[in-house]
Structure 1
């Protein structure tokens, strides 16, 4: 495997890592919103 291929794979891994980080943050925010909604739904029922 030549250096150029290694550099390309390294760059792809860095991009993938960033996408995973962004996805994780987005899922955390969605989960937080769901928890907030569930909290209000619970309060409205009781």
Structure 2
């Protein structure tokens, strides 16, 4: 495998890693929103 191919694969892996980090953060935000809504819904039912 030549150096150019290795560099391309390295860049791709770095981009994938960044995408995964962004996705995880988005999911955390969604979970926080759901938790807030669930708490609010429970208070309304009580």
Q: TM-score range by the shorter chain?
A: over 0.9
Runs of 4+ in 1 over 2 A off after TM superposition: none
2:11 equivalent to 1:11: yes
Q: CA deviation at 1:8?
A: 0.1
Q: TM-score, normalised by structure 1?
A: 0.99
Unpaired runs of 5+ residues, structure 1, are none
Alignment RMSD (CA, Å):
0.2
Aligned length: 46
Q: TM-score, normalised by structure 2?
A: 0.99
Unpaired runs of 5+ residues, structure 2, are none
